[in-house]
């Protein structure tokens, strides 16, 4: 088995830049996932985020989860096991940062936690934009292309899902998070340094994303697959809960603005693909999300097909024909 790609970001500044960019290109084309180290977010800030997130969970959410767990296990038993296929063994809350913050509406979070999470989000935001430009470089797109493609009228949608995956008595039957691809742009995940569980589907097999202290796991969402016309793919992944340990994960989603129009970059649409009608669709991001909320745990291809159908109904011209 090839090794899960780990990129040391400091190498992008030095003599080994070319090799590091090649590793990044290979990860984007063949894994849809990679892990980065020395990404510029300080160990101190990450340690603080982890400590406060775990404390917050134990103080405020563990009890609430126990009630869910009792009910879920009961349903699973009485339903002959099928209920496990329609639930996720996770405790989560969502922080939205852009275009507007929801922090003021979250009374269960204390001020210290909010302050640290604001700081962390601002670092993740910068890192996301830096990564998008590295992707542009590898794709032969001008600097800023992807940021602009996501921008819409009010800039990107950017938020953080804070999750805990508590110990699960039946991890084979009930997943921490069922298999899915991510709808948006680029995802930056700060995962527990000790407790594993995230897996991606590669060549038909589930591969572990190894925990690595102070690393950030990056993956490609459906919108980057569309913009690159399939050169980069969003990859199926899931979380397997552990029978005896709680796993923390903090996933930040850097997504297009709701009104951003998403379409394959003309420079990445090859003539042959155009002739074979193998071009990804053009659509408004919110329309895609409306479908995704109902179909998250299904394959992405029918979503792309539905967007293609919508494009025809709307009578829009294909982007490649217009530019």
> Which residue in the shown chain puts its C-beta closest to Ni ion?
182
Record the tokens describing residue 190, joined without a space. 């700060």
Contacting residue, 249, 255, 285, 311, with ligand OGA by CB under 6 A: 249
Strand partners, 207: 200
Cβ nearer to ligand OGA, comparing 147 with 161: 161
- How many alpha carbons fall within 13 Å on the CB side of residue 112? 8
Angle among Cα 163, 177, 54 to the nearest 5 degrees reads: 20
Cβ nearer to Ni ion, comparing 161 with 245: 161
CB atoms within 10 A of CB 59: 11
Site for ligand OGA in 201-240 (CB under 6 A): 237, 239
Strand partners, 248: 164
Record the tokens describing residue 195, joined without a space. 């407790």
d(CA 249, CA 54): 10
Cβ nearer to ligand OGA, comparing 50 with 182: 182
Provide, rounded to whole angstroms, the least separation between the CB of residue 115 and Ni ion: 27
d(CA 311, CA 253): 26
Our finding on whether 248 is near ligand OGA (CB under 6 A) is no
Mask for 46-85, x = binds Ni ion (CB under 5 A): ----------------------------------------
Our finding on whether 199 is near ligand OGA (CB under 6 A) is no
Preceding peptide of 56 cis, ω within 30°: no
Contact call for residues 219 and 114 (beta carbons, < 8 A):
no
Our finding on whether 95 is near ligand OGA (CB under 6 A) is no
Record the tokens describing residue 205, joined without a space. 């097999």
Q: Near Ni ion by CB under 5 A, which window of 61-69, 114-122, 133-141, 181-189?
A: 181-189
Contacting residue, 35, 182, 192, 225, with Ni ion by CB under 5 A: 182
Cβ nearer to ligand OGA, comparing 20 with 117: 117
Contacting residue, 182, 222, 225, 311, with ligand OGA by CB under 6 A: 182
Our finding on whether 161 is near ligand OGA (CB under 6 A) is yes
Provide, rounded to whole angstroms, the least separation between the CB of residue 214 and ligand OGA: 16
284: phi then psi, degrees, rounded to nearest 5: -90, 135
Contact call for residues 247 and 177 (beta carbons, < 8 A):
no
Which residues are near Ni ion by CB under 5 A?
182
Binding site for ligand OGA (CB under 6 A): 161, 163, 177, 182, 189, 191, 198, 237, 239, 249, 251
């Amino acid at each position: 088995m090839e090794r899960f790609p780990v990129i040391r970001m400091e190498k992008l500044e030095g003599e080994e830049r070319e090799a590091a960019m090649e590793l990044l290109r290979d990860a984007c084309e063949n894994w849809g996932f990679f892990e980065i180290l020395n990404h510029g977010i300080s160990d101190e800030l990450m340690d603080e985020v982890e400590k406060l997130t775990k404390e917050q969970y134990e103080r405020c959410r563990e009890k609430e989860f126990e009630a869910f767990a009792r009910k879920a296990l009961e349903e699973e038993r009485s339903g002959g096991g099928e209920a496990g296929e329609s639930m996720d063994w996770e405790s989560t809350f969502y922080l939205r940062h852009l275009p507007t913050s929801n922090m003021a509406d979250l009374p269960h979070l204390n001020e210290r936690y909010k302050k640290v999470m604001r700081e962390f989000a601002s670092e993740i935001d910068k890192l996301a934009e830096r990564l998008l430009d590295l992707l542009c470089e590898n794709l032969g797109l001008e600097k800023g292309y992807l940021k602009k493609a996501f921008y819409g009228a009010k800039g990107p949608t950017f938020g953080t899902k804070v999750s805990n995956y508590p110990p699960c008595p039946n991890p084979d039957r009930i997943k921490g998070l069922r298999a899915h691809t991510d709808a948006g742009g680029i995802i930056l995940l700060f995962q527990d340094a000790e407790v594993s569980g995230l897996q991606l589907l590669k060549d038909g097999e589930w591969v572990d994303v190894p925990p690595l202290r102070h690393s950030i796991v990056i993956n490609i969402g459906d919108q980057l697959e569309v913009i690159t016309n399939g050169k980069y793919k969003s990859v199926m992944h899931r979380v397997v809960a552990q029978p005896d340990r709680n796993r923390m994960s903090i996933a930040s989603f850097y997504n297009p603005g709701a009104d951003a129009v998403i379409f394959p970059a003309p420079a990445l649409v090859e003539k042959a693909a155009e002739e074979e009608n193998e071009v990804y669709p053009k659509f408004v991001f919110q329309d895609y999300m409306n479908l995704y909320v109902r179909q998250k745990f299904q394959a992405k291809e029918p979503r792309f097909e539905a967007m293609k159908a919508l494009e025809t109904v709307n009578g829009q011209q294909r982007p490649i024909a217009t530019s």
